[in-house]
Structure 1
Amino acid sequence: MKHLPKHIRPRWRYLAVEIDAPIDASFDRGDFQRELWYSAGNLLGDPGSADADLTVYMFSLTDGRGEAIVRTRRGETGPARAAIACVHAIDDTPVGVRVRGISGTVRACEERYLGRATGAIYENEVAFGGDRRHADCRSDELAIHLPTATVCATQLDIE
């Protein structure tokens, strides 16, 4: 079977996506892909979701920090960004997602927007809610452990 001529082949754009999750989060590429398809279907409908054709091309998650490359059709980057922004939980784990940038090739996307160090995590005691609480600290971000939940905060929030 012959390849399509260059002028007929689909054109792609690659979105670099940053994922913030709790430190103990454990989901994989398939889980992220499924939530992305659901959010695209709910926001854009079936025709819009098919036009965007969102595919998770690369995914990594370590200590609650993750990166992904999402492929979409050229001309559909606006709807793709909106669908990615609608992802708020993966397997009932709350997450924050943000598009760092858009590129025309995977290589340029990796070089320009991905590969930042996740930073070292250390444990500390912090004053929160009038008590001293155990917290996992990463640069200026904190995950404060309460008896019933975990609260995420920055150094400015607890000062």
Structure 2
Amino acid sequence: MKHLPKHLQPRWRYLAVLIEGWPDADLDRDQFQRQLWYSAQNLFGDAGSADLDLSVVRFEFADGEGGAIVRTRRGEQSRGRAAVACVEQVDDQPVGLRVAGVSGTIRACEEKYMGRGREDTEQRHVAFAGADRRASVRGSRVDIPAEQAYTGATILDCE
């Protein structure tokens, strides 16, 4: 089978998606991809989600933070951003997603939006709600485990 001429090949745009979750969250690429497809299908229907053709090209997630590069068709970036914004949990684990930017190549996307250094997660004890508790500290953010979930706080809240 012959390749299509260059002017007939599909054009792609790449969304740099920053992912944030609880420190003990365990996400993988397949779960994230499936949730993106469901989100696009629920928002735009079968035909609309087929036009978007969202697919995860790169994915990394560890210690509650990560990123993904999501491919979509040129001209569909705004609808792709909307589909990403509708994802609020992956495999019953709450996540926060933010599209850092859009690029025309994977390499430019990685260099421009994903090249930032990761914050180190530090385990320590903090005083919160009148008790000494174990917490995960990332920069100015503090995640304190409760009975069934986490409480998000800042360094200023823990004194």
TM bucket normalised to smaller: over 0.9
Q: Which residue does 1:31 correspond to in 2?
A: 31
Is the 2:128–2:157 Cα contact (8 Å) retained in structure 1?
no
8 A Cα contact 1:133 1:146, kept in partner:
no
Q: In the alignment, residue 152 of structure 2 is paired with which amino acid?
A: C
Residue 137 of structure 1 corresponds to 137
In terms of mean alpha carbon deviation, does 63-72 or 137-146 score higher?
A: 137-146
Please provide the CA RMSD for this pair: 1.3
SS of equivalent residue, structure 2 residue 6 = coil
* Residue number in structure 2 paired with 1:150: 150
Name the aligned partner's letter for residue 118 of structure 1.
Answer: R
Q: Report the CA distance between 1:157 and its aligned residue.
A: 4.0
Q: How many residues of Structure 1 are paired with residues of Structure 2 in the alignment?
A: 159
Q: Which residue in 2 is equivalent to 1:15?
A: 15
Superposition deviation, residue 47 in structure 1: 1.2
- Please report how far the alpha carbon of residue 26 of structure 1 lies from its aligned counterpart in structure 2 after TM superposition: 1.1
SS of equivalent to 1:127: strand
Runs of 4+ in structure 1 off by over 4 angstroms are none
What per-residue deviation string (whole Å, max 9, x for no partner) do you get for residues 114-138 of structure 1?
Answer: 0322222212222222222211111
Question: Which residue does the alignment assign to 1:55?
Answer: 55
SS in structure 2 opposite 1:71? strand
Equivalents in 1 of 2:86, 2:149: separation in Å?
A: 23
5 Å-filtered alignment, 1:78-157, equals 78-157=78-157
Gaps of 5+ in 1: none
In 2: Cα distance, 1:145 partner to 1:87 partner: 23
Distance (Å, rounded) in 2 between the aligned partners of 1:8 and 1:148: 52
Q: State, as a whole percentage, how many aligned pairs show the same letter.
A: 57
Structure 2's unaligned 5+ residue stretches are none
* Superimposed CA distance per residue, residues 7-55 of structure 1 (whole angstroms, 9 cap, x where no aligned partner): 1111100000000011111121000000000011011111110111100
Q: CA deviation at 1:139?
A: 1.0
